[in-house]
Amino acid sequence: MNDKIEQQKQFPDGMVPLGKSTFSFACHEGCGCFTSCCRKLDMFLYPYDIIRLKNSIKTHSEQFLQRYTRLAQGTHPFFPAVMMKMAENDERTCPFLEEYGCAVYKDRPSACRTYPLERAVDRTVKGGRPKEYYFLTKHSYCLGHNENKEWVTNKWLRDQQMLEYNTVNDLWSEIDTIFSHNPWQGEGAAGPKQQLAFMVCYNIDGFRAFAEQSDLLSQFKLDKFRARMIAIDDEALLKFGFDWLKFVLTGKGLIRRR
Ligand code: SF4
Ligand code: SF4
C-alpha cells in the first residue's frame, strides 16, 4: 500500500497510525506511577499468553486457568474469551503484582508488553500479507509519556520482544475467525467440539495429554524437526493444534493425513 492510499484509510475515532514517527516513553521503578497500570484492569489473555505465564510460574495450564482466569464474552457468541482474574481487593490488583513489581515480567502478557502502543491488523489487503498498524495510546495516570526516551515502533517491538507474541497471536486470530462462523453447528455452545477446541487453545497441558493418548500426531505427515519440537515445546504444540483445528473444522490447512 503506498503512502497516499494509507493516508486515505479510515481508522476509528480519528486514530492516526504511528508509521515511522517517533514517540517518547519510558517505564521504570522511578516513575511516580509505577505499577498503577497493574490495577483495575480488564485484561484479555490469548493462548500464547497463557503458555508463557503458566510456564513462568511452573504450573499446569488447567490449574492456571482455574486459579488466575475467568471466562468472558468474546468478540462473537461462539467461543468464550479468557481474562485475567484480578484480586478481590479495592484496587483489583493483578495476581502477579508484587511489592517490587511484576513477578512474571519476562513472560508478561501481550497487553502489558504492547502498551503504550495499540496494534491493529488489516487482513483485507487483496493478494497481499496482512498489514499492521500501531497507534500511540495514553492512560491519564501514566507518567511514562513524560520521559524523554525516544522510540520508533519497530525498536519498541524489538525491545518488548513483541514479534514472537504477534506471530502466535495472529495465528490465534485466524482460528478465532473460524470460530466466529459457528463451526459447532448443531452442538451449540459448550458442546464436545467446542470444549475440545477450548482445550487446544487454552489448556495446552491437557491437549498434550489428549494428543498422546489418542496418538494424534502419528495420524499426520509432519517433518521430523517439527515432530521433535512439538514433543518438547508448548508453542510448537499450540501451532500444531491451530493447524489441526483448521483441518478438522474447515477441511483446509497446512497439515495432511498420512
Ligand atoms: S503507568 Fe505507565 S510508566 Fe507507570 S508503570 Fe505503568 S506503564 Fe510504566
Ligand atoms: S502481568 Fe505483570 S505487568 Fe501485567 S498487569 Fe500483571 S503485574 Fe502488571
Q: Is 94 in the pocket of ligand 2 (CB under 6 A)?
A: yes
Domain ranges (residues) in the chain = 3-160, 182-250
Q: Which tens digit of pLDDT belongs to each residue from 188-214?
A: 668 899 999 999 999 999 999 999 999
Residue 93 CA to ligand 1 center (angstroms) comes to 14
Residue 170 CA to ligand 1 center (angstroms) comes to 26
Q: Which tens digit of pLDDT belongs to each residue from 105-162?
A: 999 999 999 999 999 988 877 766 778 999 999 999 999 999 999 999 999 999 999 9
The phi and psi torsions of 240 (rounded to 5 degrees) equal -65, -40
Output the residue whose Cα is nearest ligand 2's atom 8: 38
Q: Has residue 1 got a pLDDT over 50?
A: no
Mean pLDDT of 218-242: 97
Mean pLDDT of 77-85: 95
> Cell numbers 464474552 correspond to what residue?
73
User: Which ligand is in closest contact with the Cα of 108?
Assistant: 2
Q: Is 96 in the pocket of ligand 2 (CB under 6 A)?
A: yes
Q: Which tens digit of pLDDT belongs to each residue from 38-61?
A: 999 999 999 999 999 999 999 999
User: Which ligand is in closest contact with the Cα of 36?
Assistant: 1
Output the residue whose Cα is nearest ligand 1's atom 2: 142
Provide the angle, in degrees to the nearest 10, between the axes of the packed helices 234-250 and 47-56. Answer: 150
